[in-house]
Amino acid sequence: MQNSKLSSIIEEILGSYKIDKGINHIEGPNLPAREAVEEIVVDIINVVFPGYYEKQEISRDEINLYVWEKIVAIYHNLSREIAKSLNSLPEMRSQSDEEITSFAMNKTIAFLSRIPYVREKLTGDVQAAYEGDPAAKNFDEIIISYPGLFAITVYRTAHELYHLEVPLIPRIMSEFAHRSTGIDIHPGAHIENNFFIDHGTGIVIGETTHIGNNVRIYQGVTLGALSFKKDKDGRIVKGGKRHPTIENNVVIYAGATILGGTTVVGKNSIIGGNVWLLESVPPDTTITHQPPNLIYKAKEKTNSKEDEVYMYYI
């Protein structure tokens, strides 16, 4: 009886595959494996921050061999996954396997050559976290435990691959960080030096966001799109500047939402918590909500001191 029901279910599922509405990948090229990409990210982080995430101590005598092993592993694993991602592009299907493998290897070498630059950027981000968070005791604490720094590290890695026009993999990387931290930074966003995310949960930074130097943002901040242009058939037009520009030395407090491709927050400005912002802000400006109107009710008198009640209404 159960076998008959299972057979019927399976036949119905197989029947749904015959109607291809874009969610089948049967007989398509092999796509990058999410788990493989995540393992590559972990290897890259171990190279960027050597000695922080390994179970055993790494000595100066061992560091040469350690980096060689990591970089060779990243080279082979990343070039394999990039080749898969390139195979997914219709314009690459006329290329031979050897040509695609060569493209993938070249892109991998170009990416690996950027690791010293990524380390330089992340050094500034760690410094910004230390200077911006009074609770931070030292760099070690920030590197090992701060979710904001983890998300920024993955972003800076994915951003390099994004600009090398590697398909799929940058988004897999950014979603790994998103799933791990609750911080969603599109790899296409442009973020300058000394960026600090405090707490972090619920942050969204869209693809065409531009963030200047020395910017600090708190949990629940959205840097998003206000609206999307549509073509004559009502379909969203891809591309174009859709997300805000945040200039140097800006602080954005928890829960603020800043939307729109033409919205610019001028340098040295402060955006208060829960502000909803759809227009540009001049430099050196503080934007806040009106304080809540508090109504205080006098203390109720009772016979017992223990029974005194304080009531406050907002």
CATH number of the domain where residue 166 is located: 1.10.3130.10
Q: Please indicate, yes or no, whether the overall pTM of this predicted structure exceeds 0.85.
A: yes
Polymer length of the chain: 314
Q: Are residues 180 and 160 in the same domain?
A: yes
The mean pLDDT of 122-132, rounded to a whole number, is 98
Confidence check: pLDDT of 234 > 80: no
Q: Are residues 156 and 181 in the same domain?
A: yes
Q: What is the pLDDT of residue 24?
A: 84
Sequence-distant contacts of 250-255: CB under 8 A, at least 24 apart: 250/212, 250/215, 250/216, 251/215, 251/216, 251/217, 252/215, 252/216, 252/217, 252/218, 252/221, 253/218, 253/221, 254/199, 254/218, 254/219, 254/220, 254/221, 255/219, 255/220, 255/221
287 domain residue, yes or no? yes
Residue 170 — very low, low, confident or very high, per pLDDT cuts 50/70/90?
very high
Q: Are residues 165 and 285 in the same domain?
A: no
Q: What is the pLDDT of residue 23?
A: 84
Residue pair 74/44 in contact by the 8 Å Cβ criterion: yes
13 domain residue, yes or no? no
Residue 230 — very low, low, confident or very high, per pLDDT cuts 50/70/90?
confident
250 domain residue, yes or no? yes
Q: Which residue has the higher pLDDT, 243 or 2?
A: 243
Element (H, E) at 310: strand 309-313
- With 0-12 / 13-18 / 19 or more C-beta atoms within 10 angstroms meaning exposed / middle / buried, residue 22 is exposed
* Per-residue model confidence as pLDDT tens digits over 265-314: 999 999 999 999 999 999 999 999 888 888 888 766 656 555 554 444 44
147 to 112, 179, 293: CA distances (angstroms) = 24, 11, 35
Q: Are residues 120 and 244 in the same domain?
A: no
The mean pLDDT of 155-167, rounded to a whole number, is 98
208 domain residue, yes or no? yes
2 domain residue, yes or no? no
Domain stop point among 188, 215, 239: 188
* Per-residue model confidence as pLDDT tens digits over 191-209: 999 999 999 999 999 999 9
CATH number of residue 256's parent domain:
2.160.10.10
Element (H, E) at 210: strand 210-211
Residue pair 211/192 in contact by the 8 Å Cβ criterion: yes
Lookup result for tokens 């599922």: 13
The mean pLDDT of 133-141, rounded to a whole number, is 96
Q: Are residues 183 and 213 in the same domain?
A: no
Range of the domain at 127: 26-188
What percent of the chain is predicted at pLDDT more than 90?
75
Q: Are residues 168 and 196 in the same domain?
A: no
d(Cα 300, Cα 52) in Å, to the nearest integer? 57
Confidence check: pLDDT of 123 > 70: yes
7 domain residue, yes or no? no
The mean pLDDT of 240-244, rounded to a whole number, is 94
Instruction: Give the total number of structural domains in the chain.
Output: 2
Q: What is the pLDDT of residue 307?
A: 52
Residue pair 223/206 in contact by the 8 Å Cβ criterion: yes
Domain stop point among 126, 157, 188: 188
Q: Are residues 116 and 255 in the same domain?
A: no
Q: Are residues 94 and 242 in the same domain?
A: no
Q: What is the pLDDT of residue 241?
A: 94
The mean pLDDT of 124-132, rounded to a whole number, is 98
Domain stop point among 188, 209, 226: 188
Q: Are residues 98 and 64 in the same domain?
A: yes
* Per-residue model confidence as pLDDT tens digits over 253-263: 999 999 999 99
The mean pLDDT of 56-79, rounded to a whole number, is 94
The mean pLDDT of 133-142, rounded to a whole number, is 97
Q: Are residues 134 and 261 in the same domain?
A: no
1 domain residue, yes or no? no
The β-bridge relationship of strands 286-287 and 270-271 is: parallel
Q: Are residues 167 and 68 in the same domain?
A: yes
**Closest CA relative to residue 158, chosen from 144, 181, 134, 177:** 177
Q: Are residues 122 and 148 in the same domain?
A: yes
Lookup result for tokens 């602080």: 251
Residue 239 — very low, low, confident or very high, per pLDDT cuts 50/70/90?
confident
Residue pair 180/161 in contact by the 8 Å Cβ criterion: no
310 domain residue, yes or no? yes
